[in-house]
Structure 1
Amino acid sequence: MLFVLRLRYTATEEDAAPFVPGHVAFLERHHGTGTFLLSGQTVPTSEGGVILAHGPERAAVERLAAEDPFVTNGVAAYTITAVTPGRVHPALAEVLARPGD
């Protein structure tokens, strides 16, 4: 299952700034496990960011999102949308064929 995680700031970017290193470590950890397939800032950056995640179930992805230092420090929140892939580019087919983490 794929999940689109939309990060939205609930405070200013300045308020979020002290938590950027922890957020980056959070991203790197979950990219390293293969759960996060893509992450990036929105344009404009003041709106937040997006993560494309691969996981077994929504509850597991919700638990991960709740661990983001931006969330635990009250400066951002996630909206999570589950996606059942219908058509997949061949470059992603192998990644999506493996069990979610």
Structure 2
Amino acid sequence: MLHLLSLHYTAPEQEAEPFVRDHVSYLERHHKDGTFLVSGQTVPTSIGGVIIARGSDRAAIEQIAAQDPFVLNGVAEYTMTTITPGRVHPDLSPLLRTDR
């Protein structure tokens, strides 16, 4: 399964600035371990950001989202939509495997 995590600021974007370095480290850690496939800011950036994560256990992804420094410091929150891919471009199939 894939999980679309939408990050929304709950405080003015400027209040998140002190936590950006830790947030980036958090993203890098989960990209490196293969959980996060894509992450990026929304346009406009004042809304937040989006992550596409993979994993068969939604509860585990919820736990990971709860550990984001933005969430821990009360400046943002996530909403999550779980997706069971029905059709996938052949070039992406190996990358989207969730049976890890």
Q: State whether TM-score is above 0.5.
A: yes
Distance 1:74 1:54 in 2: 25
Q: Is the 2:54–2:98 contact (alpha carbons within 8 Å) kept by the matching residues of 1?
A: no
SS in 1 for 2:96: helix
Distance 1:96 1:12 in 2: 34
Measure how far apart 1:68 and its partner are.
0.2
Q: Which residue of 2 aligns with 1:29?
A: 29
Measure how far apart 1:96 and its partner are.
1.9
After superposition, residues 1-101 of structure 1 pair within 5 angstroms as 1-100=1-100
User: Which residue type is aligned with residue 66 of structure 1?
Assistant: A
- Identical aligned residues as a percent: 63
Q: TM-score, normalised by structure 1?
A: 0.96
Where does the alignment leave 5 or more consecutive residues of structure 2 unmatched? none
Measure how far apart 1:91 and its partner are.
1.6
Number of corresponding residues = 100
Measure how far apart 1:97 and its partner are.
2.7
Query: Considering only aligned residues, what root-mean-square deviation do their CA atoms show, in Å?
Result: 0.9
Distance 1:77 1:16 in 2: 12
Q: TM-score, normalised by structure 2?
A: 0.97
Structure 1 residue ranges (4+ consecutive) displaced by more than 2 angstroms after TM superposition: none
**Greater helix content:** 1
Measure how far apart 1:36 and its partner are.
0.2
Measure how far apart 1:92 and its partner are.
1.2
